[in-house]
Amino acid sequence: MSNKELCLYYLEKYAAKDLSVIDDLFSDDIVLRDWKIRVVGKQAALRETQKNFEAADSIEIDVLSTYENEDTVAAELKITVDNTEELFVVDVITFNPFGKITSIRAYLGRGDSLT
């Protein structure tokens, strides 16, 4: 699988709240960072992911665009939580040579609407 395909697979499994697959995708030394938290290590990243899953009844992820280089994929996303909250996010996901995610850096933005 290409890194782009791995990224899209990760996002699909994230939306499905499939922690067991995400566990397989994370490297042991993963760094997870967004606009609220920064954690290092697989267990800490899985705990944060589980918290997100527990806080939402549903997660829908629309991939608006992707950009890829040798070991990184940036994905522009529209995330809808519980059919009401819309988040516009760019995830920058880095992979090691074994296809494991070594970092996810998430940046919160806004949609095109000025409201």
Range of the domain at 8: 3-108
Within 10 angstroms of residue 2's Cβ, the number of other Cβ atoms is: 11
Tell me the per-residue pLDDT of 11-48, one tens digit each, with 9 for 90 and over. Answer: 999 999 999 999 999 999 999 999 999 999 999 999 99
Q: Is residue 24 part of a domain?
A: yes
Q: Is residue 115 part of a domain?
A: no
**Count of domains forming the chain:** 1
pLDDT score of 113: 62
Residue 113, in any domain of the structure: no
Q: State the DSSP code for 13.
A: H
Average pLDDT over residues 50-78: 97
User: Which tokens sit at 15?
Assistant: 């939306």
Say which DSSP state 37 is in.
Answer: -
Q: What global pTM score does this model have? A: 0.93
Residue 11 lies in a domain: yes
CATH number of 99's domain? 3.10.450.50
In a domain, 114, yes or no: no
On whether residue 13 sits in a domain, the answer given is yes
**pLDDT surpassing 70 at residue 7:** yes
In eight-state DSSP terms, residue 35 is: S
